[in-house]
Chain A
């Protein structure tokens, strides 16, 4: 019994330390956004600002078209999420339920593509988008992310756990594949689809490198790139950067708080299925 207690105690201490390490930057970001410039750069660092500088937020909106960034990011994240979700759904359905020539080879090719890191193909993608004349367009921002092999595989494991006889039963009941997808598969896989949608939205919201490459007009920038507006040759306006960063993270944080149960379930389920 005693041994167990010690073990639990050690576990709690370690978890607490890691939790602080993880959470501290967030807290500091929020607090820093409310400090004066001097406070953000002071040594030793200030933790709690003397006076909360709410005016920082007003300055953020004044100095850069932040509302526009929000709108752009929202459009890009939503379109990416909806289209990639739809594509992954249809792709995963085909891989699980349909029989066609070359299925195994296709599966293998896609699996090996999964191992190519995104950064490795970012310049060829850039070339393609540039030649198509899609720089500084929404289409250029979303096009490379409208399909995702990873999400497709994730859904495939989800759909694979649904008994094959359900599909057969629906065939005999007179349902077309389209009926099956919308009336049976989607309602039965809500959890998986939700996880994919959320992950896709979050990663699109947080994207940095790609929008930086394919946009150079201020009106087409996304939130994360907008943060650079607060740095100039004269140095960074740290307090404004932190305030803007808080604004950027806020929607995602809200999403996490609302849907944390589903997010954790989705991840755990994936792990268990291996």
Chain B
């Protein structure tokens, strides 16, 4: 019983995985993580961070240089893609253009070890076409379909083998903004209904935050943080995470720690005023970056410093006040009713229990 529980907790396990390409580029450096059965996990990161390499290795389309991948407790590194019980949705969908939608969805059931009679294959294909709502497109060719429809065909084709793991490589990046919102909700509810463990690659943090049960953030081939969505926002592991996640982006101020206080160019904060429970490392004297999310630096009567508002931008129910600090643009996120205008001098105050301090190397100390 304990054993089964363990395997469910670590349905997909990646251990010390490294990938060095023939040209010497090290795409992944000692990556380890695990995924719970039935979870939808987002692999997030900027382009070139290694997330697609990771997905291709899970699929078996690339061989790792070293390390191990386990599905359901068994190593699959030496297993061919077709025997890994995976479904894969490609960024460009990779539908077979000369086949109809039905033939596309049926294809995995007409070749290899999943081959079955035509009637049976058609029955299974139609079941998944119903789930993905493409039944009425059965006789169309992919070239005649919209991006959203092609997407559904690709998902139906990936699911028709009834795989244990579904891998999706930026499946929404070719869709327009409105459709993307709709389809991502559909994808989440679909994979949850089918109960399939899903790894979803994206470079869009908003997408990752909205659909992922958890997010694994990559940069330069290293996992920066492996956590539930809100922690990327509230408790970023390091400077990279703090800056990658969050919109509008976080404000960064260069500061020094000396004589028991944090000094910026025009503000000072005594170390004693910090929330002592949040201190994660030694606050030794030296140079640091103080980062604060725009909603945690607000106009107030008694602020930490005064700034001249250089621009006001409306984003739906909120406004962004933009100001220069040490020659770098910074932002304060205020509610819609605020009457502050461009050119106003405003005192700004930071929530000290919400600021972060990073060393020059990017390690978080507060």
Contacts and interface: CB of A to CB of B under 8 A. Distances in A.
B96 A165 contact: no
B275 to A, nearest CB: 49
Interface stretch (A9-17, A150-158, A180-188, A232-240): A180-188
Interface in B81-121: 81-82, 86-88, 90-92, 94, 96-98, 107-108, 110-115
A176 B114 CA distance: 12
Interface of A, secondary structure class, is helix
Given A187-B98, A188-B97, A188-B98, A174 B108 contact: yes
A172 B112 contact: no
A171 interface: yes
A198 to B, nearest CB: 21
Contacts of B161: 173-174
B61 interface: yes
Contacts of B107: 170, 173, 175, 183
A171 B115 CA distance: 14
Contacts of A169: 88, 90, 94, 96, 157
**Size bin of chain A's contact surface:** 10 to 19
A166 B112 contact: no
A269 interface: no
Contacts of A184: 96, 98
Contacts of B81: 168, 171-172
A29 to B, nearest CB: 42
A175 B107 CA distance: 9
Interface string B135-161: 000000000000000000000010001
Contacts of A172: 59, 61, 81-82, 86-88
A41 interface: no
Contacts of B157: 169, 173
Nearest to A167: B94
B112 A165 contact: no
Contacts of B98: 184, 187-188
6 contacts: A168-B81, A171-B82, A173-B82, A173-B157, A176-B112, A187-B98
Interface of B: 59, 61, 80-82, 86-88, 90-92, 94, 96-98, 107-108, 110-115, 157, 161
Interface of A: 163, 165-166, 168-176, 179, 183-184, 187-188
